[in-house]
Structure 1
Amino acid sequence: MADSGSKIGEDDEVPGRVMENLCQPCLSKDKETVADKFCSTCNEFQCNDCSNVHNVLAILKNHKLMSVKEADVASFSFKMKALDLCDQHQHSFEFFCEDEKKLCCSKCAIVNHRKCHSVVEIEKIAGKITSQISTLGEKLKEAKQSAESIARHIRSSKDQLAQDIKEIQEEVRRMRDEVMRMFDDLEDSVVKRAKTLRKETSTNLTKKQTQNEKHLADVTSYLETIERIFKNGTPVQKYIAEQKMESNVNALYKTIKEECQNLEKVNISFQFDETLKLPPLPITEYVPGQLLLKSIRQGDVYSVNMVMKLTPVSSIDLKKTGDDIDEPFYTGIDFLPDGRLVAVDNRNKKCLVYNEKLEKVGSYQLSYRPFSVVVVSEEEVAITNGDGYNIEFLHVSKCNEISSSRTCEVKTKYYSICLKDDRQFVVGTIDEPRPVRIVSLTGEEHDFSINFPNKSYPIDTSDCTYIKSSDKVVITSTDEHTVFIYDIKTNERVVVKDDQIQEPRGAAVGPSDTILVCSMKTNSIVQITKTCQILSSYKIDMEYPFKVCVSRDKSFLVVANSYIGNRKMQKFKIST
């Protein structure tokens, strides 16, 4: 288990520190570090680590570095960038008109504010009035986050447009190929039928041909007989032949004439129905579909992806007590529908129940080391077995009594588990090329229809969750400092990698289907939008946050950590 590690240093924030005394490169990374140096060339306050770059890059070696204490007024005045000058007269501000709430230079005070009742010197009031600079700084930070969100959204939208065009092209080609397959089938069918008709017609024509050849032979024979008798026969012979042959010749003549009049020219053709006849113009003139451009208002985008706020509700230390053989280590937690919490203790082989105040109200001894737990219904939970190939179902009553109800045998060893729907789980595998699989509530196992990279996750290096509304699987990779989001419908993968995500572990689905990930090394919970953008990061008062779960109504969040000697479980109220 990930229960080892060294303590992360104390928070560097110092009460009362002003912005000019903080390292500005660090601030751009959302990190507050005391400034040790001031570079008049860079026009920045810097900490020792950031200022050391001047000794590395030749282009920076001529920059003028000085200690913060040596930074003179001229440097600061230069940093003001004319903020201290009157726009109208270009004189330094010396007065403040309390009546009109305006800064004044000496000329302004005389010309524009001589009738005002209270025009005071700035030097006399500057130190007496509570400074609002920190509030302005917070507003600017929030504005910066919003602007960055807009930039990310625009980049994402452009990428999506490119992807949409690709999908349109693929759809048209797919339809074309489908139509071609249909016409190939049509060709085979029509040609087959045409050949059958040709065979039947040819048979009839052959019969007629045979009969006609017989008639032709009879005609030829009769002509030869008549010619011989006409040349060599006696009058008596001619008379007899004439009487004898007259009826036969007349019958043959009649038959041949009738057949000649009834001759038919046979041909085979194929004609499309009216619905399939194409016009004599390019198909682009009659596009069989519509090209749609759908636009969502910016306000709608950000109303869906609201930055959540966490307010501490309760916290408990997980200490060894009673019959525990080791310090508790909660590798799985989940909310019951009524707000109670169920947890599994990997070290002490237990399943426990906590009330809304994080007071332990129930406990059940297991025969194996549990890995993870998921609530199946109002009074049933499922637990993955760390020692065997099965998933155990426990009954948790309203009175906090826990009992085993059934066990499903499986062929793969699973770590994390969450609900896919009311009949199936999404489960994270251990040392398998398929990092996630689907298991039914009766133990039937099958795979997602997506292409996973050829990578397996050893024990304690990954976690998974599932977003039901968008049919997406989320996988954290602790070693790669990465969160992978797989879209089941499109078979696409998005890689979320950022300095705010360091050794990600537990994952859960939060408000507006945002993804909440435990970043162990930064001691924070990172919020990722369903469009795969980092929305925010929350520092929490525990080291190595390991597992996270969210209540059914998305109003509460619980986190448990993995740090030896200082294990905790904390509950937060979620607001937006």
Structure 2
Amino acid sequence: MADCGSNIQENDKVPGRVDDILYQPCIKEIMCQPCLSKDTKTVAGTFCSTCNEFQCIDCSGVHNVLDIFISHKLLNANVAHAIRCDQHQKVLDYFCEDEKKLCCSTCAIVDHSKCHSVVEVEKVAGKMTSPSSSLKEILQEAKENAEDIERHIITSKDQLAQNVQEIQAKIRETREEFMRIFDKLEASIVERAKSLQKETLCYLEKKQSQNEKHLANVKAYLETIHSIYQNGIPTQTFIAEQKIKNEVHVLCRNFNEECQNLQMVTIFLDLDEQLNLPPQSFTDYIPGQLTLKYNERKNVNAENKVMTLTVDSSIDLKKEWDDFKQPFYSGIDFLPDGRLVAVDYNNKKLIVYNEKFVKLGSCQLSYYPLSVVAVSEDEVAITSGSEYIIDFIRISKANKIRRNRKCIVTTKYDSICLKDNSQFVVGTIDYQIPVEIISSAGEPYVSNINFPIKAYCADTSACTYIKSSDKVVLTDIYKHTTYIYDTKTNTRVVVRDGQINEPCGVAISPSDTILVCSNGTDCIVELSQTGQVLSSYQLDMEYPYRVCVSHDKSFIVVANACRGNMKIQKFKISL
């Protein structure tokens, strides 16, 4: 059983989701200068341009009492700070039109002496017809996004609590079936669910705390902009906008990205179909799996990098003179040079095609082949449904085919894909573990993924591997389900969607999304690594069965499993 709660803090990023570290602007706290001269730190609220000092409320109060100070001009401290040079603490009197930067008299001499157009701010500001409100509108949008994030986090926390209660109710519904062992079993599952909830709440509260800080910064900027528009002269307005414009744009862009990738965290219980309790204490075993799932919120404005497919070529598979039956391609894959290799289960054959589906060569096999994967420039590995072997066959550039070696294995394998140069990820047949990682010599490795105990017959499941994120994908044709296992955190995402019916073959797209053959809907469904359905491609064939992607990421090929109308189609990929 995959207990997904133990590693959330260790790796709490979800692949495919934008990192939760937003841009953090700094609203500087300005100290009262008269108070500093008395070794006291007090936040300044105003700036007297005559005294040339930042002052707190108490120190500036003298301007309202003595007539001698009546002519002094007071500004909001943030406004005054905004129109001064951060480096030299002088008023920003100049604007470099070449570099689009504000500068004080020192900056103009030292940093912009070679620029062609350094003009006084008064001349530039004088050309402004009215203060721009775009920054205020952008900040208002950022404020709304921040508030949206806040509401979403609160909803997610409520949802977590609700999920734990639903899990508890689900267990109680099954109480009679488990009889006397169920009471202790319930306590065990709920304890783990609450542990997941506690760890996930820490993660959400961290995001909530960050969002509150960002929201405070947005409000501070809004107050500054509002004060400038209300009290500032055109030069001050122009200077303030120029100073904070870039920071505001970066802040808003990051808020927008965060909003587009909000996810609802849920916990649910997926019970195993067969409850085979081991001899150890039953409190150490849960007949199911607690799964922590991040459901990406769909946003109509989000730009998902999905594919478009265009038919490149297609052929119908007909029975040839040396065939016993109509061809059925149970496995397909590309060689690195673009040639396509297919294995025909019905006729025990391996066939090689060029890019236009012109047959280049074939050879007879002594067993029923199930799946094929390109291992190198000129070698493929084939699994068998009738023998305990993995067959390695060489295909030369001249399309001469010869057997290289046979690897004897202890389990029959269906689907096969490369994990790295020395390991395969394989789907098992009639074995209690549905997926294994094996060496090129056929030796199984101990995986850190706790797959559920379930045996699949041939043609009822397929698997593949995502190298960039170290994830294993598994389909279940009868449960209409696709599982995405994260080997780093030992968690899984369960994908059930109306667009996926009888999922068969799977492959990884050029953008590392998941392509699933939906046998029951005659389409290819594209999934994100977090389980979101990104798109669906209706095919001009019935019962798509296998899919593969070319090494240059330009094409995919789909083979079907339709009696009487067998075909393979090649599609051009566009992103």
What TM-score results when the alignment is normalised by the length of structure 2? 0.50
Based on CA coordinates, which of the two structures has the bigger radius of gyration? 1
RCO (CA 8 Å, sep 6+): is it higher in 1 or 2?
2
What TM-score results when the alignment is normalised by the length of structure 1? 0.49
